[in-house]
Amino acid sequence: MRTTLKATEEKHWMHACLLGLVLVITAPAFAQILLPPNTAPAETAPPQGDADRGEESPETGQVLRLEEAYQLALTNEEQVKIAAHELAKAHLLPWRAIALLTPRAEISGTFTRNKEEIAFVRPGTSTGDGDPFAGTTSVIRPLESWQGTFILTQPIFQPAFLPTLRFGKETVQQSERRYEFTMREVLFGVARAYYDALRSREQVRVARDTLKLTKDELKQAQARFRVGEVTKTDVLRAEVEVARAERALIANQNALQLAFATLARVVGVSEPLRVAEPTPPVSRGEPYPQLVEQAYRQRQDLQAQASAIEATRERKNQVLARYAPQVNTQWQYPRLDTPTFANRDKFWVLTLNFQVPLFDGGVRELDLQEQQENLTQSELQLERLKKDVGIEVKQTLLAVETLEATLETLKKEVSLAQENYRITSKQYAVGLATSLDVNTAVNTLNQVRTQLIDQTYAYQVALLALDRAVGIFGQDYAPQR
């Protein structure tokens, strides 16, 4: 009887020692699990490496804030530069209209060789009247001659001037809206890449924490196996979970490297760099009809398409202007090496020209019909774009609402998963739970924590996407009009 009581007391003492050992080992892990994600800003945290694997984290270098990334992208991104050059080309179009009314000057030169010289001799008179030209030779057509003429043409009435001027102005407005739209698209791409880097960074931290938990469970299983409380199966199952956690950590670290490389590409800087938690965007809380109306007023692509319609209409007016007459004045100043009876040296001529188009083979009619079709297409494209904008606003608004509800449930799931793992680990330490229960609790905790990180940053990106769909994203970086 005493031997049985003594064995029972020794077994209880061993259980208590094991429980104390487990609590000492897993206390730091519990502290890390209970901390919510994103509690420390990236700029205050030193670059962390994987202590278990001896690898350096790719998050090294200077801190790049989101606002700085915006500025760098606007300076370095090729799309913005291309749009700027398109805008510069558009600013040349109004000057083309002015060039229609500016004078034109040219010099033409002609060398002529005839078959033979044609000339006549003015006969003298017998009365002796003293004619100075009597007996001289007058050349009608010389054998060889050079002639240079300075021609100055001044348009007086050019019917294509006003349509061309209005077309240039509408094209400038269209290019300006396209430039702003390109800038905001580039900025949104920067924001998406920036939040992807933040998400990947937090996933690496979760994977590292999960690996530490699995190693702690492996130590616990090995300790219990050495005293004969569990079988070799528990140790093998714990080793499998450690291998899975190591594999997940490697995958997340590689994803983090790719996220930083993508961010460096879109902002035009070299790696390495670090990111800092930006100020989270806030929900607008406006109803869908109000958001759609705001999008119709603010969207730069809609404004650009409206300007494209006006530009197409002015192209049609340019074709109609070809039916109207043109009036020009021209001044010619010739220089001849051999003046003739009909052509005199320095004998300038001023002419007034009228050109009235009558028939050009039907080319104007075909061009007019083509421009009418282009105008109809532009109007239909605007209507189609409005419908697409309405769907885009609806889609992003629903995504925001969905993620808001999802985040609330995920936060509860993370809290419950943490409590479940804590209880299951304690139960396993005293033999009231199996290793399979512990592994399930660890995997569940890792899964919900990863989902919470994904959905947290997806929600912030969705809020920015809603501002982009409405047309107000990046207003502080758009050029002032």
Angle at 381 between CA 375 and CA 383, to 5 degrees: 110
Question: Which class does domain 2-94+162-312+386-477 fall in?
Answer: mainly alpha
List beta partners, residue 111.
146
Tens digits of residue pLDDT in 414-427: 999 999 999 998 99
Residue 342, judged by CB atoms within 10 A of its CB (0-12, 13-18, 19+), counts as: exposed
Residues 6+ apart with CB under 8 A from 142: 114, 117, 338, 340
Three-state DSSP state, 429: helix
Three-state DSSP state, 218: helix
Three-state DSSP state, 306: helix
Q: What is the pLDDT of residue 341?
A: 74
Q: What is the pLDDT of residue 122?
A: 66
Report how far residue 182's alpha carbon sits from residue 280's, in angstroms, rounded to the nearest whole number.
Answer: 24
Tens digits of residue pLDDT in 328-358: 999 999 999 888 877 888 999 999 999 999 9
Structure tokens at 186: 């580039």
Q: What is the pLDDT of residue 16?
A: 44
Q: What is the pLDDT of residue 268?
A: 87
β-sheet with 104-113: strand ranges across: 104-113, 144-157, 326-336, 349-355
Report how far residue 11's alpha carbon sits from residue 26's, in angstroms, rounded to the nearest whole number.
Answer: 22
Taking Cα atoms as reference points, which of 281, 291, 299 lies closest to residue 458?
281
Backbone angle region of 268, left / alpha / beta, with phi > 0 → left and psi within -120 to 50 → alpha: left
Pairing of strands 144-157, 104-113: antiparallel
Residue 100, judged by CB atoms within 10 A of its CB (0-12, 13-18, 19+), counts as: middle
CA atoms within 13 A on the CB side of 116: 2
Angle at 36 between CA 56 and CA 284, to 5 degrees: 110
Q: What is the pLDDT of residue 17?
A: 46
Phi and psi at 93, nearest 5°, equal -65, -40
Report how far residue 283's alpha carbon sits from residue 223's, in angstroms, rounded to the nearest whole number.
Answer: 51
Q: What is the pLDDT of residue 9?
A: 44
The H helix count followed by the E strand count for the chain is: 10, 8
Structure tokens at 127: 């009365």
Report how far residue 191's alpha carbon sits from residue 460's, in angstroms, rounded to the nearest whole number.
Answer: 10
Quick check: 134 and 127 in contact, CB under 8 A? no
Report how far residue 322's alpha carbon sits from residue 357's, in angstroms, rounded to the nearest whole number.
Answer: 7
Length of the chain: 481
Gyration radius (Cα) of the chain, Å: 42
Q: What is the pLDDT of residue 284?
A: 77
For the chain, the structural domain boundaries read 2-94+162-312+386-477
Please state, in angstroms and as integers, the Cα–Cα distance from residue 351 to each residue in 84, 196, 357, 405, following that order: 45, 72, 19, 82
Quick check: 205 and 256 in contact, CB under 8 A? no
Residues 6+ apart with CB under 8 A from 211: 52, 242, 245, 246, 248, 249
Q: Please list the helix, strand and coil fractions of the chain in percent, rounded to the nearest 5, in that order.
A: 65, 10, 25
b/e map 4-20, b = 16+ CB within 10 Å? eeeeeeeeeeebeebee
Q: What is the pLDDT of residue 5?
A: 36
Structure tokens at 267: 């902002």
Q: What is the pLDDT of residue 27?
A: 42
Q: What is the pLDDT of residue 273?
A: 81
Residues 6+ apart with CB under 8 A from 292: 389, 390, 393
Mean pLDDT by 10 residues, the chain (481 residues): 42 45 42 40 36 45 88 92 95 94 94 86 57 66 89 94 95 95 95 95 95 93 89 91 95 95 90 86 88 94 96 95 94 89 87 91 94 96 96 96 94 94 90 88 94 95 95 82 57
CB atoms within 10 A of CB 160: 18
The H or E element spanning position 391 is: helix 363-429
Q: What is the pLDDT of residue 132?
A: 57
Pairing of strands 349-355, 326-336: antiparallel
Structure tokens at 420: 């479940």
Indicate the DSSP class of residue 50: B
